[in-house]
Amino acid sequence: MIFYKETKFQETSIGRFPKEWNVVILEDICEKVRAGGTPLTSKKEYWNGDLPFVKIEDITLAGKYLTATKSFISKEGLSNSNAWLVPENSLLFAMYGSMGEVSINKIPVTTNQAILGIIPKDKDDAEFLYYWFSFFKPRWRKYAKPTTQANLTAEIVRNSMIPLPSKRERQEIAKVLGVVDSVIAKTGEVIAKTERLKKGLMQTLLTRGIGHKEFKDTEIGRIPKDWEVVKIVDACAKVKAGGTPLTSKKEYYNGDIPFVKIEDLANAQKYLKNTLITITKAGLENSSAWLVPPKSILLAMYGSIGAMAINEIPVATNQAILGIVPKEEKTDVEFIYYLLNFLTPHFARHAKQTTQANLTAEIVREFKIPIPPILEQRKIAEILSTVDKKLEFEKNEKAKLERIKQGLMDLLLTGKIRIKVN
């Protein structure tokens, strides 16, 4: 395969492409471009048949190839709705919700009204069109109808412009991008396998420990005989929520104290090293915020219940976040981090059901946890940290591959770089 740089271009309404490429309307290269429909949910006989029924979430879960759906309809449901049978190797295109998401269906399917079934005249074009739509996805918003939520219509998509190299070049472009996709998929499989391993290890290590033969029944379940059951407050030096300095006081902000909000926890993954905003010493002293020392755990009480990170720097937090400072002689911060992650579903069950479910500092303080001897805590944390490092490496590799793919799509689908074909 030989690549070369293009020098002769034409300007079009959707961008700059090689002069020898055609730019056509989607409808002209398709047999059918049509939305689906949803059978009446009140008619039980229309549902749970043998016809796969695609919703937006099926496409987002599927990625490139859709091979299964969560819902099914019956032949009667098909006959009594606007749904239709989309043959395999067509494109399924989301018009709203996740606007511009696309998959190739590897099984015949029906779809709801938010999804277009697109059948190319040349069956080999499904792969090329998949990559074109993936590349063009961020640009659809420009064409969407500005309703409560921006959405496309079948008419807008039918009349969209598509760059069209020769058939052979289309195939070669799809082949190159397909190779990158297959490597990304394999990396995704490694990540999924490693996440399953981590889940299994957490279940075993955080309930049965390492090499124990004797166990005892406790109020929180069966645990090794030499483990203790204690309240979180008794295992820690401090468990306290933060507070927010008055936003109207400019002198309280843009200081040198990192200030943690929920989005910082979401961005941090395991370790928090920086924050989006900072506060001043005056902001700290004139609010309920306090300085959480490094190697503590930051736990979200509402919004994203259970989101957490270990802070590597001194921080203050808002009132939605608990600072949990372990007792160094009794608890290892890494162990407590993994234990609290493992117990997140239990936290959710204990949350107060107000407008949105939330924890309180009191609920967390009084929560009972199993505590092994400190040396065993460190061994457990070390094993789980090794798995986490593997996960981090694979996720970084996947992100790198996705950046490479994005760059290749920009070069190949606009013809900046061409593939020489005979």
User: pLDDT (tens digit, 9 = 90+) per residue, 107-159?
Assistant: 999 999 999 999 999 999 999 999 999 999 999 988 887 766 678 999 999 99
User: Are residues 26 and 145 located together in one domain of the fold?
Assistant: yes
Pair 181, 347: CB distance under 8 Å: no
What are the pLDDT digits (tens) for 189-230?
999 999 999 999 999 999 999 999 999 999 999 999 999 999
C-alpha to C-alpha distances, 397 to 66, 177, 391, nearest whole angstrom: 24, 17, 10
The answer to whether residue 324 is domain-embedded is: yes
User: Are residues 232 and 365 located together in one domain of the fold?
Assistant: yes
User: Are residues 76 and 105 located together in one domain of the fold?
Assistant: yes
User: Are residues 182 and 252 located together in one domain of the fold?
Assistant: no
User: Are residues 73 and 204 located together in one domain of the fold?
Assistant: no
Number of domains in the chain: 3
Out of 75-89, 337-351, 376-390, pick the least confident: 337-351
- Domain CATH for 34: 3.90.220.20
Sorted by sequence, the CB contacts under 8 Å of residue 101 that are 6+ apart come out as 56, 59, 60, 93, 94, 137
User: Are residues 35 and 131 located together in one domain of the fold?
Assistant: yes
User: Are residues 129 and 29 located together in one domain of the fold?
Assistant: yes
Pair 231, 367: CB distance under 8 Å: yes
Length, in residues, of the chain: 422
Please give the model's pTM, rounded to 2 decimal places. 0.84
- Domain CATH for 402: 1.10.287.1120
The answer to whether residue 392 is domain-embedded is: yes
* Boundary (domain end) residue, out of 164, 181, 197: 164
Rounded CA separation 124/89 (Å): 9
Out of 81-90, 148-157, 248-257, pick the least confident: 148-157
User: Are residues 357 and 290 located together in one domain of the fold?
Assistant: yes
> What are 34's strand-pairing partners?
117
Gyration radius (Cα) of the chain, Å:
27
User: Are residues 52 and 131 located together in one domain of the fold?
Assistant: yes
| Residue from 272, 277, 274, 278 nearest 311 by CA | 272
Q: Provide the 8-state DSSP code for 250.
A: G
The answer to whether residue 11 is domain-embedded is: no
| Residues spanned by the domain of 392 | 165-212+374-422
Say what percent of the chain tops pLDDT 90.
88
User: Are residues 384 and 365 located together in one domain of the fold?
Assistant: no
User: Are residues 301 and 251 located together in one domain of the fold?
Assistant: yes
Q: Provide the 8-state DSSP code for 109.
A: B
